[in-house]
């Protein structure tokens, strides 16, 4: 069963690469990849955190900034807890969330994150 799920996850990731020109199809596939990754690897696995970041980027490209922000907040919290505040992936998550805050006009929150994590 686990082997099948890993195979499905690999298949879905390959499909995501081929749907870059269709944002809605890309979003649907990335949601599926995230669901499978959470089920197979768990919410705290670095691969799952990477999938969350990719889906948040897709949301951002579609103008779904509130969805991107929520996913990035979850990604940062989990990354900080699992990987530590100084891990490169945690710093990247903080930077991505700061960008999302800026795009939503939440400049104070963005500056707070930038100061806390020394994001440029």
Whether the Cβ atoms of residue 60 and residue 103 lie closer than 8 Å to each other: yes
Query: Which CATH number does the domain housing residue 17 bear?
Result: 1.25.40.10
- When pLDDT is averaged across residues 54-72 and rounded to a whole number, the result is 95
pLDDT the model gives residue 42: 95
Per-residue pLDDT for 1 more than 50? no
Kindly report which listed range (23-27, 29-33, 45-49, 63-67) carries the lowest average pLDDT score. 23-27
pLDDT tens for 83-102 read: 999 999 999 999 999 999 99
Q: How far apart are CA 95 and CA 18, in angstroms?
A: 27
Q: How far apart are CA 41 and CA 50, in angstroms?
A: 12
**Residue 86 buriedness (CB in 10 A; 0-12 / 13-18 / 19+):** exposed
Q: Which structural domain range is residue 57 located in? A: 2-117
Residue 17 has pLDDT above 60, yes or no: no
- Domains: count for the chain: 1
User: How many other CB atoms sit within 10 Å of the CB of residue 36?
Assistant: 20
């Amino acid at each position: 069963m686990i082997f099948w799920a890993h195979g499905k996850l690999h298949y879905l990731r390959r499909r995501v690469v081929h749907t870059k020109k269709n944002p809605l199809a890309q979003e649907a596939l990335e949601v599926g990849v995230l669901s499978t990754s959470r089920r197979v690897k768990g919410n705290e696995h670095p691969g799952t955190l990477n999938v969350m970041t990719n889906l948040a980027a897709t949301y951002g490209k579609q103008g779904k900034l509130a969805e991107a922000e929520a996913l990035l907040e979850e990604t940062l919290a989990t990354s900080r807890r699992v990987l530590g505040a100084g891990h490169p992936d945690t710093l990247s998550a903080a930077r991505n969330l700061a960008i999302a805050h800026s795009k939503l006009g939440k400049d104070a929150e963005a500056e707070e994150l930038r100061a806390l994590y020394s994001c440029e």
